[in-house]
A and B are shown apart, each in its own frame.
Chain A
Amino acid sequence: MGIVIKKKSAFKGLLLPENKITAKKPAEILSVPEKVTIPLQQSIGAQCEFIVKRGDTVKAGQKIADSASYVSAPIHASISGKVSKIIKAVNPVTSAIMDAAVIESDGQDRWVELKKLFDIKKSDDFSGFKKIVDSIGKKEILKKIREAGVVGLGGATFPTHVKLNPPPDKKIDTLILNGCECEPFITSDHRIMLEYGRQVLAGLYIISRTVTPENIYIAIEDNKEDAIRYLEELIIKMGFSSIFKLVSLKSRYPMGAEKTLIKTITGRSVPVGGLPMDVGAIVNNVATAKSVYEAVIESRPLVDRMVTVTGAIKNPKNLLARLGTTISCLIDRCGGVSSGTNYIIIIGGPMMGISIVDIDFPVTKGTNCVLVKESKVQIEQNCINCGRCVDICPMNLMPLTYVRNIKRGNFEVCREYYIENCIECGSCAYVCPANIPIVGYIKTCKSTIAKNKG
C-alpha cells in the first residue's frame, strides 16, 4: 500500500526510556464516581462563571459554567446529580485559586439529550458522513466545538474553536494531527488512536473543513507501529487516502512539541515569539480530534477523557474517566501505589508533568496521565560548563546561561538569550551531568519577568 511517509527528526532530540507499560492495555471505562469536582478554569483564556448554583440538579453534559469572552471554553457537568457545594481549589499549574463545583452523583447517570447526526462506529457509509459534514457550515462547526467545551487535549488546553479560526491574513496550508506522544509512560493518545481511530479520522476531516488546508498530515512516532498500521488501514477504508498523509516519525523527544513537529514535517521554523499559524500550520492532538467529532456529530460535550494511570502503581491502566474524578480515585481504581514510602504524583508525563500534593485534585480537560514515581533526592552540583544543554536544546537556546544569570538575579539578561522561546521540554535538565533543575530555574525566571512586567 505504502501511504506511510517516513521521516527523521529535524532536531537532535533525546532517546528516552519509553516505559510505555500500558500501551497494550485497552481502555477501561471508569464507572461514574460518587462525586466529581469541576474547577472553573480548565483551559487557557478567560475563567468561566457558574450558571448553576448550589443545590441545583444537573444532568451529565449540562453546561454549568461559561464565559462571554471569546478565548474561553464552557464547562459541563460530567455526571448527573446535585451541586452540593462550591469550593476553592488551587490550580497546580499556575497556583491560582479558583472556584470549583462539587457534584454528588444521583447514581442514575442521566444525560442531556444528545442528537446524533451519524454513527461512525456502526456505519460504513463514509461518503454519507462526509456529506453531512460538508453540509454543516464552518461557522456552525466552530459553534458546536465551542459549545461542547473542546480544548486542546494534548495538555495545552487552548480552546479549539479559537485555534481553528485564525485571523484572515494567516493562510493555513498545513494541518497536522499530532499522535506523537513523545513523553515516556503516557499511552492515552496511543489507545485513542487504536480504539477510536474512526472518530479521530472523522474529527480530523471535520477540522480540515474549518481551515481548508492543502496538506493534512497524521504524525505518529514509529514506536506506535500498531497505531500506524491501523490508521493506514482505516484511511484507505474511509476513503481519505487522497487527502490524509500518514507520517511515521523517528521516536525522538520532544517530537510532539508543536514547533519541532512542524519543523520536522514541513521544514518551517515557527518564528521566535510566533505561533504555528505564522508559518501556515495548525497542529491538533488526536484526542482533540475525537472530541471534535463527538461535539459536531453527536453534540456530546467534553465530559470525559482518556487518562493513563501508570508508574509505581499496582495495576497500571488506561482509564476513560469523567472529568472531575479525583486523582486519588483513579489511583485507587488501579490498585493503589505499589511500593515506596516517599513518592511523587505527577499530572502529565515524566518530562513536563507537574507534581502535586493534593490527591483530591480532579481530572481536568488537560490531564492525559497520572504518573506515580518513587521520590529520589536530587543533589544539585556545580555547572561544569560542558555545554550538553546547549547541544540538546531543541529550541537552540543556551540553558546554562540562564542558570548562571538567574542565580545572580539577572533575570533581564535571560531575555537577551530568548528565554521566552523555551518550551520547557526538560531535555537540558535530563542530560545535565550536574543534575541542575534547569527548567525550575527557567520557570522562576519567566514568572518573575511576567510579574515585573505586569
Chain B
Amino acid sequence: MEKGNNILISHAPHIWGGFSTKKIMYIVVAALLFPTASGIYFFGYYAIFIILVSIITAVLTEFVIKKLRKKKFIMDGSAVVTGLLLALILPPRLPLWIVALGAFFSIAVVKEAFGGLGYNIFNPALGGRAFLSACFPKEMTTWVLPPHFSYDAVTGATPLSGSFIPQADKLSLYKDLFFGNIGGSLGETSAMLILIGAAILLLLRIIDWKIPVFYIGTVALGSLLMDKDPLFQVLAGGLMIGAFFMATDYATSPVTGNGRIIFGVGLGILTVLIRNFSNMPEGVCFSILIMNAFTPLIDKYVRIKPFGFQKKKKNA
C-alpha cells in the first residue's frame, strides 16, 4: 500500500444520516402547497402573484445580504419557506409592492440582522407581517370574501372581526371554516388543507406534535372559559396555520419536550387574551412573536434529566 498520499482525516462519526436542512425545508414547502392551493382556489390568480413576489423577494434579499456580509449563500430553502409562509398570512388583495417590502423586512431584518438561519429570535414571516400591520393598517385589514377570482373583489369581514355576521346555520359555518370558503389571509382559511400539510410534517417527524396540540388545546379550553364557541375559535383565523407551521419553527421554539409544552400553553393563553381583550380581532401572530422572545429563557431553564440522574442524597 502506498504511503501517506491520499489519506485524509475525519471526525467520528464517519457516516451521516443525510437528512439535511435543505431536505427539511423543501418538505415544509411541499406541505405548505396544500394551504397554498386553497389560497389560489378561493382568492384567485392574484394569490399566485403574491406568493411569487414574496418568495422571489425573500430569496433575492437573502442572496444580496449574504454577499454583503461576505458569507456563502446556500440555497437551503429556508428563504423559500419564509417567503411562502409570509404570502400565506397576508390579505389576499395586498398590493404587490407591500408584499415585497414585507418579504424584504422578514429576511433582512428579522432573519439576517440576527445572524441568519438558526440565529433569529423571531419567526421571520411573522416578523414581516407584524411590520406590515404596523405600517399599513388599512391595506393589512382589507379582506375579500371567497370565492372571488377577479381583482376587484367585494370586501368582507373575517370570521373573528366584530363586523362578521355568521350564517344562521352553525353546521354550514363550520363547513365553510373547515373547507376554507371564508374571508381571511391567503392560506389560513382552509383548516382541512392545513391539516393535510401538517399530517405530512408529523408523519415525517419534521415537527413535534406537542406545540400545536397544546396550543390549540389551550385555545379551545380558554375559549370555553371565556364563554366562546371553542370549535369556532379553533377553526377561525390564523390559529391552524400558526400552530402547525409557525409555532413549530425550529429556531424560534424550544428544543425540549417539556419546553415545547410550556411554549404551546403560553401561546394558547396569549391568543385567548388578545382575541378577547385587545382591540385586535386576531392574536396568533403576536402570540407567537411574544413566545418566540421567551424561547431562549425556556431553553435555559427547562432541561432534561440526563441518563442515570439521581437527586443528591443528603447523607450520601
> What is the CB-to-nearest-CB distance from B112 to chain A, in angstroms, rounded to a whole number?
12
> What is the CB-to-nearest-CB distance from A44 to chain B, in angstroms, rounded to a whole number?
19
Any A CB within 8 A of the CB of B9: yes
Q: Are B304 and A398 in contact (CB under 8 A)?
A: yes
Which of B87-95, B222-230, B305-313 is the contact stretch? B305-313
Residues in A neighbouring B11, C-beta threshold 8 A: 355, 378, 429, 437, 439-440
Residues in B neighbouring A328, C-beta threshold 8 A: 1, 3
Q: Are B17 and A390 in contact (CB under 8 A)?
A: no
> What is the CB-to-nearest-CB distance from A68 to chain B, in angstroms, rounded to a whole number?
34
Residues in B neighbouring A387, C-beta threshold 8 A: 208, 250, 255-256
Any B CB within 8 A of the CB of A448: no
Any B CB within 8 A of the CB of A435: yes
Residues in B neighbouring A241, C-beta threshold 8 A: none
Residues in A neighbouring B76, C-beta threshold 8 A: 381
Q: Are B308 and A359 in contact (CB under 8 A)?
A: no
* Chain B, Cβ-Cβ closest to A278: B308
Residues in A neighbouring B304, C-beta threshold 8 A: 390, 396-398
Any A CB within 8 A of the CB of B168: no
Residues in B neighbouring A354, C-beta threshold 8 A: 12
Q: Are B13 and A418 in contact (CB under 8 A)?
A: no
For the complex, would chain A's binding face be called helix, strand, loop or mixed by DSSP majority? loop
Distance, CA A350 to CA B13, complexed state (A): 6
Q: Are A435 and B20 in contact (CB under 8 A)?
A: yes
Contact pick for A269, options B15, B20, B307, CB 8 Å: B307
Inter-chain contact total with CB atoms closer than 8 Å: 164
Contact pick for B116, options A272, A373, A382, A386, CB 8 Å: A382
Distance, CA A337 to CA B252, complexed state (A): 46
* Chain A, Cβ-Cβ closest to B295: A385
A270-B308, A271-B308, A272-B309 as given contacts; A385 in contact with B118, CB under 8 Å: yes
The residues of A with any CB-CB pair to B shorter than 8 Å are 14, 16-17, 184, 259, 263, 269-272, 274, 328, 331-332, 336-337, 340-346, 348, 350-357, 359-360, 371, 373, 375, 378, 381-387, 390, 394-398, 400-401, 417-418, 421, 424, 426, 429-435, 437, 439-440
A–B complex contacts, Cβ < 8 Å, 7 sampled = A355-B10, A378-B11, A381-B117, A385-B251, A398-B303, A401-B299, A417-B303
15 more A-B residue pairs beyond the given contacts A17-B15, A356-B7, with a C-beta to C-beta distance below 8 A: A16-B15, A259-B308, A274-B308, A332-B1, A342-B6, A351-B14, A353-B14, A355-B10, A356-B9, A357-B7, A382-B117, A395-B306, A395-B307, A396-B304, A430-B16
Shortest 5 CB-CB contacts between residues of A and residues of B = A426-B13, A387-B255, A382-B118, A440-B11, A437-B11
